[in-house]
Chains A and B, each alone.
Chain A
């Protein structure tokens, strides 16, 4: 199958496809950011995308979530073509993402941050909120309760009324993941979740990722710069350099691939 390593277990291969990217190409003016990028992800997988700085990893996420419109190629989510759809519709279909540089609603409370992600599922309209109908009160209460559950899972329950911008960095990262999960995704895109974390925190993060995948039955596609995290948790990995895929396979295969070592680790070592 296109965009997948050959040697995955038949049990995994039998699952339905959730995301199918084919021949994705994107230019910024004349700069080639992504070229002929193909990846196919099946339900329940945990897939990594790695590569040195500027390899085009975040651009791939931006293309999936409709921030940019690709120059060529196709992106299918559960069979639906995503290209040309606005971002919010793509998110509402069940894809959620986090950001490399945290982008919370910094002046709002922690709870509001999560509630905003619930908005498309609020279940009441403008008239309900203006006239404070019973429907409004019921749905609002339910929304708040569900959001509080999320905060509890991420250890943020007692800070729900704090201003999000005032949280320490580690909690902001967690809040961002909580907010992404509140959009009720089936596919979660994590953009460098380990940025700025020390090895101990990365261990905690790995546990967290495993936990949310099982708890919410998610498929996870993550971009990472740090090998430690990717090598340990991903089932298989795609390696990018200069906008092109240079290798794909299970972590141990990728680790031994000379091209990857040259493009990625070699440069990393020099730096």
Chain B
């Protein structure tokens, strides 16, 4: 059989073509210019209104840390079962509602005072708040495990789309079951916060605190840097110590709270026109609790048996099974961890924004998912970085571009990141076997 006319024609066409590199360069320049233009416009607006800028950075931190808690759940679940768990945002919603009920019906946030009436009110507040959060985390962990056991596990051998549809179904169920009149109702509910919220101003920030926080961050960073240098030279012990949870805690807690407090302390001194920075104690508490939970999660995933089993299962399930890992149990544990983080996120979100609703999980859930994808789905530090990015971008675009467009900007960022780096900031490029 001789070669067809078509094949010859195709080949002819191919021979006459020129290299498209020039065109690619042109388009890169155009895209870069467009990007610079956007940054310039936003940057100018920010520079013209520095007070708003700092305010939005604080708001962005607050939102970003809540997103981080939810995003971690998405990323862990996706990492291990390759399922976009659309119901995760609704677990977050349930977390908020559980805390609503424990506070308004059970007065759980006041139990230390009820038991020991003479207790120091600050200590009682701390213990009470932590109890409320723990209660929500526990309930949400149970909910997530139940979901996994009854909705996802039976479908694990099926095509992935079946599990995805199921996830959508579970999500709808939680949303609309929550919307029933005798459950959460379909109205907005004002949320009774577990602690007093007050506005922090520059005078309430003693420079000593700033010193302590920055010191913490600085010492941790220096130690980390030394370990890193040693580790790069091949010192195995230094490599292991780099991931020490206390170091991470020091850097993150000291760093972020330090930045936040510095902004509160500095802005009135920096911005000449009168400017009220509405930074509340809730903001700092949210950041602190999120950092603590993140570090605990890192510790669990890195150092505990179950965490190692999780990483192994995420990498290769059949082999893990052969190595004696109970993969079902590991997946259930992953869902439990994810659920508990979402529960904590729900409480913090409700505390920050003061209103809850049975559909409140959809948009934060989606944004967190976007954050997980931007950071590199499957990567824990990625989820954290992605969530902060999304939080900041969303809030800054609300401040300097257009408030109704914040969702559109967040999702545009998603598409742009996917186009430039599909595997996300911290993700690894998927290899393909041919």
A contacts B directly in the complex (CB < 8 Å)? yes
| Chain A contacts to B: CB under 8 angstroms | 28, 58, 62, 67, 78, 80, 84-85, 89, 92-94, 99, 120-121, 123, 184, 186, 215-217
Partner-contacting stretch, out of B1-9, B126-134, B187-195, B237-245: B1-9
Please determine whether A80 and B434 come into contact, CB atoms closer than 8 angstroms: no
Task: Report the separation of the CA atoms of residues A99 and B433 in the bound assembly, to the nearest whole angstrom.
Answer: 11
Please determine whether B6 and A93 come into contact, CB atoms closer than 8 angstroms: no
- Range for the number of chain B residues in contact with chain A: 10 to 19
For residue A123, which residues in chain B have a CB less than 8 angstroms away from its CB?
Answer: 6
The 6 closest A-B pairs by CB, nearest first: A121-B6, A92-B10, A67-B434, A93-B11, A62-B434, A121-B4
| Choice from B10, B15, B19 contacting A120 with Cβ under 8 Å | B10
For residue A93, which residues in chain B have a CB less than 8 angstroms away from its CB?
Answer: 7, 10-11, 14
For residue B3, which residues in chain A have a CB less than 8 angstroms away from its CB?
Answer: 94, 184, 186
Please determine whether B7 and A80 come into contact, CB atoms closer than 8 angstroms: no
- Minimal beta-carbon separation of A43 from chain B (angstroms): 12
| Choice from B7, B15, B431 contacting A92 with Cβ under 8 Å | B7
For residue B4, which residues in chain A have a CB less than 8 angstroms away from its CB?
Answer: 121, 184
For residue B19, which residues in chain A have a CB less than 8 angstroms away from its CB?
Answer: 84
Given A58-B434, A78-B11, A93-B10, 6 further pairs, Cβ under 8 A: A28-B431, A84-B19, A92-B7, A94-B3, A121-B7, A123-B6
Cβ-closest chain A residue relative to B13 = A89
- Minimal beta-carbon separation of A133 from chain B (angstroms): 18
- CB-CB under 8 A for A99 and B434, given A85-B14, A89-B10, A94-B11: yes
Cβ-closest chain B residue relative to A79 = B15
Cβ-closest chain B residue relative to A183 = B7
For residue B10, which residues in chain A have a CB less than 8 angstroms away from its CB?
Answer: 89, 92-93, 120
Task: Report the separation of the CA atoms of residues A92 and B1 in the bound assembly, to the nearest whole angstrom.
Answer: 16
- Minimal beta-carbon separation of A93 from chain B (angstroms): 5
For residue A216, which residues in chain B have a CB less than 8 angstroms away from its CB?
Answer: 1
- Minimal beta-carbon separation of A25 from chain B (angstroms): 19
Cβ-closest chain A residue relative to B15 = A80
Task: Report the separation of the CA atoms of residues A123 and B9 in the bound assembly, to the nearest whole angstrom.
Answer: 12
Cβ-closest chain B residue relative to A191 = B434
Please determine whether A89 and B14 come into contact, CB atoms closer than 8 angstroms: yes
| Choice from A62, A80, A184, A215 contacting B14 with Cβ under 8 Å | A80
- Minimal beta-carbon separation of B367 from chain A (angstroms): 33
- Minimal beta-carbon separation of B372 from chain A (angstroms): 25
Cβ-closest chain B residue relative to A87 = B434
Please determine whether B11 and A80 come into contact, CB atoms closer than 8 angstroms: yes
- Minimal beta-carbon separation of A87 from chain B (angstroms): 10
Task: Report the separation of the CA atoms of residues A58 and B11 in the bound assembly, to the nearest whole angstrom.
Answer: 25
- Minimal beta-carbon separation of B323 from chain A (angstroms): 24
Please determine whether A120 and B14 come into contact, CB atoms closer than 8 angstroms: no
Task: Report the separation of the CA atoms of residues A177 and B155 in the bound assembly, to the nearest whole angstrom.
Answer: 36
A-B residue pairs in contact (CB < 8 Å), sample of 14: A28-B431, A62-B434, A78-B11, A80-B15, A84-B19, A93-B7, A93-B14, A94-B3, A99-B434, A120-B6, A121-B6, A123-B6, A186-B3, A216-B1
- Minimal beta-carbon separation of B395 from chain A (angstroms): 38
Task: Report the separation of the CA atoms of residues A62 and B431 in the bound assembly, to the nearest whole angstrom.
Answer: 14
Please determine whether B1 and A184 come into contact, CB atoms closer than 8 angstroms: yes
For residue B1, which residues in chain A have a CB less than 8 angstroms away from its CB?
Answer: 184, 215-216
Cβ-closest chain A residue relative to B20 = A84
Task: Report the separation of the CA atoms of residues A184 and B11 in the bound assembly, to the nearest whole angstrom.
Answer: 13
Task: Report the separation of the CA atoms of residues A184 and B2 in the bound assembly, to the nearest whole angstrom.
Answer: 8
Q: Which of B272-320 contact A (CB under 8 A)?
A: none
Please determine whether B7 and A94 come into contact, CB atoms closer than 8 angstroms: yes
Cβ-closest chain B residue relative to A216 = B1
